Amino acid sequence: MDDAFRVSLGFFEDVRPNALANKHGNIHIAAMYTGMAMVILEFAWFCLAQADVFPEIGEPANETSPKAREDIPPGLSVLIQTVQSDGAQDAHLNAPIIPRDPHRHAAAHYLALLMMRFVWLHEIAHGALGHIDFLQSLKANGEGRSLGLNELSLNELVSIHPGIDGRVLQCLEFEADSWALSQSILIQLAGQENIDGIAALPADLRCRMTLFAIYSMSWLMETMSSTFIRGRLAITHPAPIRRMQMLQNMAVWELNDLGLDMPALTRQTLGMFQTVLGQIGAQWLQTDQFDPHRYRVIFEETQDQLAPLRYIVPEDAIRR
Ligand SMILES: [Zn+2]
């Protein structure tokens, strides 16, 4: 058996902000929907339009630090208006919030690229860490449907397949987040940044921007999936931010192992991200009392099941 890891990356033309991991034959697939790129850019614009976000970039006094439109999280304003207008030619759409300072405008593009990198790495991780093979091994006999991970409808996956425990899927998400986080940071520490504009930034700023991008992305994904599950983009309830809580812990573990004094760096970055959430509206800030200890046993069991299916060793290799 040829067990080399092969992955094909690409965009999928679809207005929905989604990403997926799957496998066709022995080729893994990691795809980002084009709608996701749009949402990411709009969110990054909103962040850099806030004077308190990376004030060392450009002239923050030029920014007006607007709050988000009521009940619509930034990143989703263009998408939601597009869906609601149902493609009507004469629809009047509100323009997204964009930074005024040219340096901050450029920085928003870099932030968007770092966010997209985290999504790609997360989807690649689902393949490389054996998650897709694991899900496909659970496929009921004779069922033609290929089982992959679709970021916006994890709950759907549970309901189409009774053999999948929702907590196991959550563990797969945490693993993929953890790997994508450490790879994102390693790129900076190893001097492997291949985007010139980002590589030209001071190392400390690059690291904090990377962390900020990861917090942003997890918050967006969590907000969007809980929104979409409620159906038709009707945003009326607070979104859980359990993924962000996990990520903050992971960032401290991963980065400490890399020999950096990270608690201060992650605290500072998370604090800055929370000023962005403050501009979005209190309804998006609630947590859901997630208790990681409840997941501990199932996480360990899942890791045992995944071990023979892995193409790469997960982060424990670095941690130990
Ligand atoms: Zn995922």
Per-run averaged pLDDT (10 residues), the chain, 320 residues? 84 87 92 92 96 96 88 78 70 85 97 97 94 82 60 62 75 85 88 95 91 88 67 43 64 66 76 82 55 72 90 58
Report the number of distinct structural domains present in the chain: 1
Q: Three-class SS of residue 84?
A: helix
CA of 18 from ligand 1 middle (Å) equals 10
CA of 175 from ligand 1 middle (Å) equals 9
Quote the pTM value.
0.85
CA of 202 from ligand 1 middle (Å) equals 31
Query: Has residue 2 been placed in a domain?
Result: no
CA of 123 from ligand 1 middle (Å) equals 6
What per-residue string of b and e applies to 267-303 under the rule 16 or more CB within 10 Å gives b?
Answer: eebbebbeebbebbbeebeeeeeeeeeebeeebeebb
Query: Has residue 220 been placed in a domain?
Result: yes
CA of 126 from ligand 1 middle (Å) equals 7
CA of 93 from ligand 1 middle (Å) equals 31
- Scan for tokens 């970039």, then name that residue: 57
Query: Has residue 224 been placed in a domain?
Result: yes
CA of 173 from ligand 1 middle (Å) equals 5
- Scan for tokens 């991991």, then name that residue: 21
Domain, as residue range, for 294: 7-140+152-319
CA of 62 from ligand 1 middle (Å) equals 37
Query: Has residue 106 been placed in a domain?
Result: yes
CA of 121 from ligand 1 middle (Å) equals 10
pLDDT of residue 174: 81
CA of 119 from ligand 1 middle (Å) equals 9
Query: Has residue 269 been placed in a domain?
Result: yes
Query: Has residue 61 been placed in a domain?
Result: yes
Task: Identify the DSSP state of 266.
Answer: H
CA of 21 from ligand 1 middle (Å) equals 8
Query: Has residue 166 been placed in a domain?
Result: yes
Check: CB of residue 44 under 8 Å from CB of residue 115: yes
CA of 86 from ligand 1 middle (Å) equals 29
| Nearest CA among 259, 255, 260 for reference residue 315 | 255
Give 217's contacts (C-beta < 8 A, 6+ positions apart): 40, 115, 118, 119
Half-sphere exposure (Cβ direction) of 284: Cα atoms closer than 13 Å: 27
pLDDT of residue 49: 96
CA of 176 from ligand 1 middle (Å) equals 6
